[in-house]
Amino acid sequence: NPKAARSGSCRKQPSRAGAVGGGGEALVCAGICPAPRLWLLGGLRNNPLLTPGRPLSPPIVALPAPCWDPAVTGGRISLLQRIYYLSLEFYMGRTLQNTMINLGLQNACDEAVYQLGLDMEELEEIEEDAGLGNGGLGRLAACFLDSMATLGLAAYGYGIRYEYGIFNQKIRDGWQVEEADDWLRHGNPWEKARPEYMLPVHFYGRVEHSATGAKWVDTQVVLALPYDTPVPGYMNNTVNTMRLWSARAPNDFNLRDFNVGDYIQAVLDRNLAENISRVLYPNDNFFEGKELRLKQEYFVVAATLQDIIRRFKASKFGSTDSVRTVFDSFPDQVAIQLNDTHPAMAIPELMRIFVDIEKLPWNKAWDITKRTFAYTNHTVLPEALERWPVDLVEKLLPRHLQIIYEINQRHLDHIASLFPNDVDRLRRMSLIEEGGTKRINMAHLCIVGSHAVNGVAKIHSEIVKTQVFEDFAALEPEKFQNKTNGITPRRWLLLCNPGLAELIAEKIGEDYVRDLSQLTKLHEFVDDDLFIREVAKVKQENKVKFALYLEKEYKVKINPSSMFDVHVKRIHEYKRQLMNCLHIITMYNRIRRDPAKVFVPRTVIIGGKAAPGYHMAKMIIKLINAVAHVVNNDPPMAPSLPLCPCVLLPVIPATDLSEQISTAGTEASGTGNMKFMLNGALTIGTMDGANVEMAEEAGEENLFIFGMRVEDVTELDREGYNAQKYYDQLPELKKAVDQIKSGFFSPKDPDLFKDVVNMLFHHDRFKVFADYEAYVKCQEKVSELYLNSKAWTKMVIRNIAAAGKFSSDRTIKEYARDIWHVEPSDLKIPPPNEPRDAVEDKTPNGTAA
């Protein structure tokens, strides 16, 4: 890694919190660790390298680090506003190595662990993966937390502490099998429970109206217990907080049943309350209207808003009142970002607090609410947009339904005044969808209740404005913005690919880690033969390392000299893993037809999880594995086309070709495309999502772009997509499809893939056949360039040099300035062992933790 990421001193320091394993000192991170078990102990607890039951002796050295105190760090940097990022998913992954990099302690920790006779890499592998997300949305939230801390913003992430995260995937006989992710079975050393901030959350009940207003009564109460996790910025001594809520039943939950003799059942029923935070829903880009899911969504926003208002009231910001009761300045000091529609119930909940509890007039409460919230849209797929049945909301949250109805009535009255007699417009813009089951359109609620709405790539934001929410954008065009997604370079380069990170640092210095736009300096070295060789060498070392890993873990041997062609993302029809599969079959047929011809050797790696209830996605996994079985067991194929089946692999640094082949207009942004680009992979892709901006930054000639554009897809929809036409016109496509249909890849069950074939011909919204020919021809260009190693590597360098835009630091700066109206800070907080006078002078009285 760059020296900045490996620096740090190692010295002993008394433990603030007592001994570990009976020793007199413990490994602590001064201020950052909630208890002395922070570092290593999560891995050491069941570490086979240690003698079972033996205390840690000699004591582990302690390392100085920043103070973890929001009132000291973020609160002192941004006095005017705190940012609250609400998300049902935070895909944090492992924390140890990322924290060492951000604190600049990696070398010191490596040395300390080495002195104990342990191996840091083995310890890092023992750490559980905090998989509290399904894919891009949850990982984006994690990258944003890293960037907000690095930019010195006073920011909090709020979500749910799921006991079971995204399922563990196993492949058995080619089928995906799900296993529970019991990631907390050994505890989580990075979190600290905060029972002093436990809060009640209400469900069910009824609403009483009186002269004093509405009152929600006879409710069922669930307690929300917060767990705090530190989020350190990169080398700036700022540590923000991610607060995740866990559901707890109150002590008297259903114990009235004890009076009628069913004490055991009453205790067992406590699980009903605590199930709220039991498991992450494993759906990605698909809405499943389950009561438990709605409970989760309200649970997190109800607890979070109580916490935000408590902190607002306790923070005086110059006020002489002991506790503030005036909310005029609330939007100036509180900014809440809704990560998709999942936390949308925060809008009626904040209105309920203001109107029913704080007794604000409706108009004033609505003005404050709108100025507080902003909404990020993450998908244009209709099946992914949340539409909750009115009957379910009425049962679970009766007061909130009344508030939503009132919001909708006032909203429609306004529309009717602007567009008299336009009944169809009223229907399109209503928060309530009529016809059949009445439903609440949560995206409409978010748009109406927020002051800013953003998409996550230029093309996606344009589709949001001109197609999905056209009426709303016409009404309030200034509300709609674009904020192209990004990734944190700390995890996705320094941690992920230390060899490449160090090579870049040698050429342009280490400042690029904080300012990724400096990667443009690499353009100066595109024709530098030495640098070209060094970049190619790093890539080859990563490929050899990956090949050894694959052989060790999965007993699969691959050729590190082959092109690594990688398609890693959630399995979904719109991501078109099927098109990749058809290309593999086509290559297989070409090699069989002409075995004497020299083909560019490829190792094709397809990885991803399918939602457990998504039949077609699971059939796609089975098909890919069936094709892999045939290809990998056909001797002529072995040197040319090994196909690694659907398993999740640490492959990004080793990838040569990144597959980003969704149908134009369906992928909101994608962030995997950015990760591959930054790590030196070339992209084959459609003009979809962030691919469009990647092509703008690097030049379209430096990506392998193919297929329909958005306007072509729209025109094809207008004409009517006819899959049969492409099947009849393209002999290679016909042969590949016929092989799937005839049972060539499933001889024991020839009809196994009939659902897949039927979908491709009759129900393919994503038009695989329409882009097949262009995709195959583009792949031929890929193979041709790969034969010229120097030209390939020069294109790689141009891509890395153009990746600077796709840092989440840039994204967060845009959110901060355009939506939250707060300026990022590069102020470095002094560490705990240095004077803080300069910073403390700027601290207001009464800042709240």
Q: Which residues are catalytic?
A: 378, 569-570, 575, 671, 675
Location of structure tokens 């895909």: 91
Location of structure tokens 């016409």: 474
Contact (CB, 8 A) for 199 and 639:
no
Contact (CB, 8 A) for 264 and 254:
no
What separation in angstroms does the CA of 675 have from each of 96, 275, 565, 610, 813?
Answer: 20, 35, 15, 21, 20
Which tokens belong to 216? Answer: 């929600």
Instruction: For residue 259, count CB atoms less than 10 angstroms from its CB and return exposed for 0-12, middle for 13-18, buried for 19 or more.
Output: exposed
Distance in angstroms (rounded) separating the CA atoms of residues 203 and 399: 10
Q: Which of 516, 515, 523, 501 is nearest to 797 (CA)?
A: 523
β-pairing, 334-339 vs 373-376, is parallel
- Sign of the torsion formed by the C-alpha atoms of 280, 285, 291 and 294: positive
Location of structure tokens 């704080």: 358
Distance in angstroms (rounded) separating the CA atoms of residues 756 and 841: 66
Location of structure tokens 């595109």: 526
Q: Which of 326, 376, 309 is nearest to 137 (CA)?
A: 376
| CA dihedral angle for residue 66, residue 70, residue 75, residue 76, rounded to 10 degrees | -30
What distance, in Å, lies between the first and last C-alpha atoms of the chain?
A: 34
Residues for the chain: how many in total?
849
Contact (CB, 8 A) for 841 and 79:
no
Distance in angstroms (rounded) separating the CA atoms of residues 579 and 687: 16
User: Largest alpha-carbon pair distance within the chain?
Assistant: 89
Distance in angstroms (rounded) separating the CA atoms of residues 116 and 137: 39
Among left, alpha and beta (phi > 0; psi -120 to 50; other), residue 202 is beta
Which tokens belong to 490? Answer: 């700390």
**Triad 640, 641, 642: Cα angle to 5°:** 120
Which tokens belong to 533? Answer: 């060789």
Instruction: For residue 52, count CB atoms less than 10 angstroms from its CB and return exposed for 0-12, middle for 13-18, buried for 19 or more.
Output: exposed
Amino acid at 386: E
Amino acid at 717: D
Distance in angstroms (rounded) separating the CA atoms of residues 236 and 73: 10
Which tokens belong to 633? Answer: 């067991």
User: How many Cα atoms within 13 Å fall on the side-chain side of residue 328?
Assistant: 2
DSSP element (H, E) containing 439:
strand 439-441
Beta carbons within 10 angstroms of residue 763's beta carbon: 11
Among left, alpha and beta (phi > 0; psi -120 to 50; other), residue 552 is alpha
Q: Which of 444, 381, 431 is nearest to 665 (CA)?
A: 381
- Which residues pair with residue 217 across a beta bridge? 206
What separation in angstroms does the CA of 344 have from each of 88, 225, 337, 691, 771?
Answer: 11, 21, 10, 29, 37
Which tokens belong to 706? Answer: 């193919």
Q: Which residues contact 150 (CB under 8 A, 6 or more apart)?
A: 102, 233, 234, 236, 238, 488, 490, 514, 809
Contact (CB, 8 A) for 434 and 462:
no
Alpha carbon 680 to its chain centroid, in Å, reads 22
